[in-house]
Structure 1
Amino acid sequence: MRSTVIYFLVIFGFFFSCSQSDRPKTKVEAEDLHSLMQKVTDVTVHDIFSPPVASRVYVYSAISCYEVLALQDSTYSSLAGQINGLNPIPKPKNEKVNLRISALYANYLMSKKLIFSEEKMEEWLQEWKAELEERGLTDAEWDASLDYAKSVHQHILAWAGEDNYKETRTMSKHPLSDKQQHWEPTPPAYMAAIEPHWNEIRTFVLDSANQFVPQPPYDYSMEEGSPFYQQVMEVYNVVKNDLNEEKKAIASFWDCNPYVMNVTGHVMFATKKITPGGHWMGIAKIASILDGADLMKSSHAYTKTSIALADGFIACWDEKYRSNLIRPETVINRKIDNDWTPTLQTPPFPEYTSGHSVISTAAANALTDVYGDNFNFVDSTEVKFGLPSRAYSSFMEASQEAAISRLYGGIHYRRAIDEGIWQGQKIGDLIRSSIEFKKNNTVAKK
């Protein structure tokens, strides 16, 4: 009798151990990644990150996720060796690792490391884990997946630590100039210029911050008929005489200025808004959902978009502090009309080139490469900020509207917009031609 009991216990233990090892991994879907990326955007808005710094949060987080997911999908390539300074991530050694859980957790760890409000990221993690438990998550799978994700995080964190960001935190502020063509702080807060050393951040695909230097701005001259005078007067007249409701709506929709200050009596307070990069990461989410993209393809979209944004800001900021051009508001108030105000509040950095024109064009190219041209979508990114949705027939159409919005907003000259589009197109083309995401794509290797 005793031997019979032992026999059944052995057989039961054998089948139990087999069922544990053969147990399917807990499902992790694209919706999980969308919720995480939305949380990252929400926290960057809450923490009032500048547009360049927010782009850094997105790109390292997105790459952390993508690199893990690419391990289990033979149709996708690692970015190691394709983008500057990135070496292959470590491989998992535990068979219990769920690479999809590890990918999102690596993204979570990097996001949490790069923002301030860590507790808000922790809220997302607890909610996500509860959802996974409802799908059958076991402690062994969770623990193994997290252990592996932590090793990936340390790898990506070490790489990020070499991008010169820490060093730029202690560099000098942007010096003010007494030359009439140079940038000056603008009302109402008269903030110092942000991130004057962003061109010293390591690029991702660009060989340097100045790989694509635009044509210089027009020479400063307020003589009637000069190119500079003409573009100043265009901004002045567009805002004063040519703004219909549609143009005002376009300007507001693409404002994306996290530094908007409100003045009531002697009190000044900020209005929290999404950054330009956050807006385009929101479009990546919308497009992924409309396409029905799975987790891998969605990660591809977020990652390619974030690289375009990151390099776009580095290249644009390189030009901003080289040309150091005065904003329309300052010139118009001083030389033309002291009572004139722009439609949008002027952001705190030099004018040339237009950042939104650069990064929107680069991001639109990235998304077109993933989801195709003539991709119809309704952009609801700004709804939570009190603005109605807008519809577009392609990503490039949206980027063109984002660019011209800066003229309607009264914060950029047309040349900054045109040359910004040129910069963004060059960056988008380079990313398309030099990075292989899908293995069946033929690209020119760096």
Structure 2
Amino acid sequence: MKLSSRILTSLVLLLTLVSCGEDINPNYQEEVAEPEFYHRSVKQLTDVIVHDIFSPPVASRIYSYSSIAGYEALAAGDPGLESLAGQVPHLAPAPAPPAGTEIAYPVAAVVAQLRVGKSLIFSEPKMDEFRDGLYEEIRRIGVPEEVFQASVAYGEQVADHIIDWYGGDMYKQTRTFPKYSITDDETKWQPTPPDYMDGIEPSWERIRPFTLDSASQFRPLPPTDYSLEPDSRWMQEVNEVYTVFTGVDEQESAERQAIAQFWDCNPYVSHTVGHLMFATKKITPGGHWVNIAAIAAKQADADFARTVETYALVSMAMYDAFISCWEEKYRSKLVRPETFINRHIDQEWRPLLQTPPFPEHTSGHSVVSRACAVVLTDLYGDNFAFADDSEEEYDLPTREYPSFLAASDEAALSRLYGGIHYRPAIEYGVTQGEAVGQHLLERISTRAQITEARSQ
């Protein structure tokens, strides 16, 4: 009787596997831990962010919460990773995985990342189509169906936990806050051509940060005093922007233009040709650094855990950097070079790049790029040379850098070449981003052994 029961059980299992068209792969746990699955999931989210035209601060929110979800799902099953719960003061521990159930934690991480990403964008069908195709690929590896379903269920549990958490970050409330108020004060920011858009996210300093004590914790030095005196420091800084392509040879001029265009990262650029108006879409500054994170992880042959860790830390750094930067932008509310130069120097002048719709000081590129570069340097080293092909799909050639910090320096300077920032916003922004990035590294430990050592 016992033998018959065993035979019957075996036959049922065999019929189940055959009916599913499934051959169990004894190495499935190793094969589902291929980092390319996660890289592709993040890239899909980037493509949807570009399609849906999210502003840079909002894009940073999408990247960070989805990446944290993937990280927390993986950390639940990886003793080498430390949960972010408690380290981020307002993040509670994720649900514990069910006892006695086998889970492929890399699958759960992909599920959590995709589900949270989907919850934060508009084009949900694009995420669904990608998800379904990726799930089929994972199934074809030979993951037992019960393990696959348990992994999906746990990933969704973690995603629900993160979705509930981000609901308290003040984002919904800021959707109802007043718009930026334009005044007659000519020292203050005014909407710029060609679209004269309202100031983007004037209340972003109210968004809850991850590690900052407050949005103003690393408030930068103030901008130079406004002045119409010809010999004033202010006018010198204005003239540097106005004459940035004057007095340089053709080769240097071309290089400055190439740098500005490579780091433009404007999610929505308007074009007017005769009576025709159209727009081009591109990645945000944060999206560019997420792609650099992918380049670094692949070049270093990072395993699944290091890959997920990289995305989480970089996206958290950019998120806090945007909060820090936007607090200063809407505190100082400084006028953009385009507006000042058109009023007082040359009414026909236009910057090389389209001026973004928010105040000038400090430079978002400078703050965010430096914060991300600091984190990547901590992960992959100070002299990590890499080729950045992030803009190739936008018809811009690859650029090479000897380090992440060198890339962030160029990203910052690109805003001067683009005609959209004065030098103090760039230099003070780099200092601000450095402080944000270092602060995050001091507060967050993703490796369990590091956290244990610090507590001793």
TM range (shorter): over 0.9
Paired residue secondary structure (1:244) = helix
Match of 1:313 among 322, 327, 337: 322
Map of 2:127 onto structure 1:
121
TM-fit CA distance, 1:337: 1.1
- Residue 16 of structure 2 corresponds to residue 10 of structure 1: no
- Alpha-carbon distance in structure 2 between the residues aligned to 1:271 and 1:331: 26
Map of 2:217 onto structure 1:
211
- Residue 416 of structure 2 corresponds to residue 407 of structure 1: yes
Contact 1:203 1:314 in 2 (8 A): yes
Contact 2:25 2:143 in 1 (8 A): no
- Residue 254 of structure 2 corresponds to residue 245 of structure 1: yes
- Alpha-carbon distance in structure 2 between the residues aligned to 1:269 and 1:381: 23
Map of 2:339 onto structure 1:
330
Map of 1:74 onto structure 2:
79
Matches within 5 A, 1:237-276: 237-242=243-248, 244-276=253-285
Deviating beyond 4 angstroms after TM superposition, the runs of 4 or more aligned structure 1 residues are 14-18, 20-26, 442-445
- Residue 101 of structure 2 corresponds to residue 61 of structure 1: no
Contact 2:25 2:141 in 1 (8 A): no
Q: Which residue identity lines up with residue 421 of structure 1 in the other structure? A: V
TM-fit CA distance, 1:307: 0.6
Q: CA RMSD in A?
A: 2.1
Contact 1:434 1:444 in 2 (8 A): no
- Residue 28 of structure 2 corresponds to residue 32 of structure 1: no
Post-superposition CA distance 1:364-419 (Å, at most 9, x none): 00111111110011000000011000011110000000000000001000000011
Paired residue secondary structure (2:70) = helix
- Alpha-carbon distance in structure 1 between the residues aligned to 2:348 and 2:388: 35
- Alpha-carbon distance in structure 2 between the residues aligned to 1:133 and 1:81: 35
- Residue 86 of structure 2 corresponds to residue 90 of structure 1: no
Contact 1:57 1:111 in 2 (8 A): yes
Map of 1:132 onto structure 2:
138
TM-fit CA distance, 1:9: 5.1
Paired residue secondary structure (1:127) = helix
Unaligned stretches of 5+ residues in structure 1? none
Map of 2:158 onto structure 1:
152
- Alpha-carbon distance in structure 1 between the residues aligned to 2:143 and 2:78: 22
Map of 2:371 onto structure 1:
362
Unaligned stretches of 5+ residues in structure 2? 18-23
Map of 2:380 onto structure 1:
371
TM-fit CA distance, 1:97: 2.6
Contact 1:378 1:389 in 2 (8 A): yes
Contact 1:209 1:315 in 2 (8 A): yes
> Would the alpha carbon gap of residues 437 and 165 (structure 1) be closer, same or farther in structure 2, given more than 3 Å must change?
same
Contact 1:320 1:350 in 2 (8 A): yes
TM-fit CA distance, 1:8: 5.2
Moved more, 43-52 or 222-231: 222-231
Moved more, 383-392 or 71-80: 71-80
Contact 2:54 2:267 in 1 (8 A): yes
Map of 1:180 onto structure 2:
186
- Alpha-carbon distance in structure 1 between the residues aligned to 2:421 and 2:433: 16
- Residue 269 of structure 2 corresponds to residue 286 of structure 1: no
> Would the alpha carbon gap of residues 339 and 239 (structure 1) be closer, same or farther in structure 2, given more than 3 Å must change?
farther
- Alpha-carbon distance in structure 2 between the residues aligned to 1:17 and 1:370: 45
Question: Quick one: percent identity of the two aligned structures?
Answer: 49
Contact 2:25 2:142 in 1 (8 A): no
Contact 2:82 2:446 in 1 (8 A): yes
- Alpha-carbon distance in structure 2 between the residues aligned to 1:151 and 1:349: 38
Matches within 5 A, 1:189-228: 189-228=195-234
Post-superposition CA distance 1:294-338 (Å, at most 9, x none): 110001110110011000000000000000000001111110111
Contact 1:308 1:428 in 2 (8 A): yes
Map of 2:20 onto structure 1:
none
TM-fit CA distance, 1:60: 0.2
Map of 1:394 onto structure 2:
403
Map of 2:53 onto structure 1:
48
Match of 1:165 among 153, 171, 174: 171
- Residue 298 of structure 2 corresponds to residue 298 of structure 1: no
- Residue 351 of structure 2 corresponds to residue 342 of structure 1: yes
